[in-house]
Amino acid sequence: MKPIVWVGILLIVLGGLALAYHGFNYTRHEHVMDVGPMHVTTEERDRFPIPPILGGLALVGGIALLVVGGKKGS
């Protein structure tokens, strides 16, 4: 397979995931203080949103790359 086809497939998968999940969650550990043998940390959960338009553009771009890659191979 050509690299353009692989990039197209990757964009389709990433675009589909972006449309399905609208972002991803992550946990951040923050060091608060050290007092002798005691260590205090805090855990903070955040969300990184991905706009649906970005997922749609990735999906359309991936389909376009598959079409272009398929035509060049023929």
Residues 25-74: tens digit of each pLDDT: 999 999 889 888 888 999 999 999 999 999 999 999 999 999 998 776 55
Distance CA 48, CA 30 (A): 18
Tell whether the model's pLDDT for residue 8 goes beyond 70.
yes
Q: Say what the pTM is.
A: 0.71
* Contact in structure between 31 and 41 (CB atoms under 8 Å): yes
Domain residue limits, the chain: 3-73
pLDDT for 72: 64
**Average of pLDDT values for 8-25?**
93
Residues listed for the chain: 74
Q: Which two tokens stand for residue 1?
A: 């397979």
Distance CA 28, CA 57 (A): 30
Phi, psi for residue 40 in degrees, rounded to 5? -115, 125
**Average of pLDDT values for 5-11?**
94
